[in-house]
Amino acid sequence: MAEHIQQHPELLIDKSLQRLNRDRDPNVGPLRIYITDEAGQVINTTRVSRVFRRFQLMAEEANHPISHQFRNELIFGPYQFEVESKTYNLFGRFPDNHPRPWFFFLVDNKLLTAGFAIFLSGLLCGLLAWYLSKPLRSLRLSANALAKGDLANRVDAATANRRDEMGQLAIAFNGMADAIETMVNNQQRLMGDISHELRTPLTRLQLSLALARKKGQHSTELDRIEYEALQQEALISELLTLSRVRLNASEKRLTAELTETLSQVLDDAEFEAEQQGKQLLINIDESISFEHLPKTLSRAIENLLRNAIRYAVKTVSIETTQSKNHITIVVKDDGPGLPEAELEAIFTPFYRPDSSRDRESGGWGLGLAITQAAIYAHNGKIIAKNRLPHGLIVTIDLPTN
């Protein structure tokens, strides 16, 4: 096109240049020509778009021929040539022929680009938060289980095998849990061993008392010694039971019906309630059968029923419900209840509430501790709540799988 103008300089006169876009070779395609003079003014058309003006500035800044793909057109140039000692610049434009790279769309649509960036960053942050919170959630669950007495609970292997700080924290937590479990188990074994060893001198003391009685020796002092010896025997027996239950060393798990396990306990409780002029209501589904520790579970329920009968005014009830994976046992009484602050403390060894449920029982505060240990041995939960208008409700939740 430049050579054609150089050969025919008369085209630069009048409006001949305006016909260049109409008379060009049809094989070239939809090409549009722009010719500018030394002042940068387009001389072959009066309709100049803002896009072309923008390209002119880009070309001047580059100081060499360039091409740029705009939204709907590709503009290239300038090609510089001279006609009669005057300098002219030639530009070309192809409308809609060259597809733009996808990222140009983002450049032209800044709000959409910002929205996409916010969405993408939010998605990445969400994935990062999930990646970081998953091991933390596992650590939290294990810590809560350990705090509730489940000393065998550990952080899962997937978290412990991570090669980052979370994995190191999980390994450290599991090491701490191993040390705590070993320490507590050793303490329980020590308590059991001490209680067992105390029985030997206590047995000798009782034998000496029996011999003194046989020889006809009777006195208030001997009666007092005999009473205290019996109290010590009962206390040692309770301590041994608590130690065995916590160590799960007393028996093996069996699959049996709940009514079969509790039959003797319920008979004894009914008899005890009748002797005190109270009523025991039993509502246990005979079809409930699951794997459990029969002696341990029956001892736990026996302690609950005895406490409930001791403090009830008229009525004590025990009922069970079964769901897909759990069995719930509820023991209720219509006694005076407990202060809210003591509802969790009653399961602590040697704790006896300073209330209407006080030291009248003459016990040592080990019954409910044994009950809690028995429930924990089944991986279950036990909760005590006050009953309206008065009374106490103890709920046991046992998993069946």
Longest dimension (CA), the chain: 155
Torsion angle, alpha carbons of 207, 213, 218, 219, to 10? 10
Structure tokens at 93: 């434009």
Q: Answer yes or no: are the C-beta atoms of 144 and 118 closer than 8 Å.
A: no
Backbone CA torsion sign across 82, 86, 87, 89:
negative
Our answer to whether residue 390 is catalytic in this structure is no
Q: How far is CA 102 from CA 113, 315, 342, in A?
A: 12, 79, 69
Instruction: Using DSSP bridges, classify how beta strands 254-257 and 86-95 pair: parallel, antiparallel or unpaired.
Output: unpaired
Q: Which of 4, 8, 98, 196 is catalytic?
A: 196
3 state SS of 82:
strand
Among candidates 48, 82, 54, 81, which has minimal Cα distance to 68?
A: 54
Q: Answer yes or no: are the C-beta atoms of 243 and 216 closer than 8 Å.
A: no
Is the N-terminal amide bond of 26 cis, ω within 30° of 0?
Answer: no
Q: Answer yes or no: are the C-beta atoms of 290 and 400 closer than 8 Å.
A: yes
Backbone CA torsion sign across 208, 214, 216, 220:
positive
Give the Cα separation of 153 and 159 in Å (integer).
14
Q: How many CB atoms lie within 10 A of CB 379?
A: 13
Structure tokens at 293: 């520790």
Q: Active-site residues: which are they?
A: 196
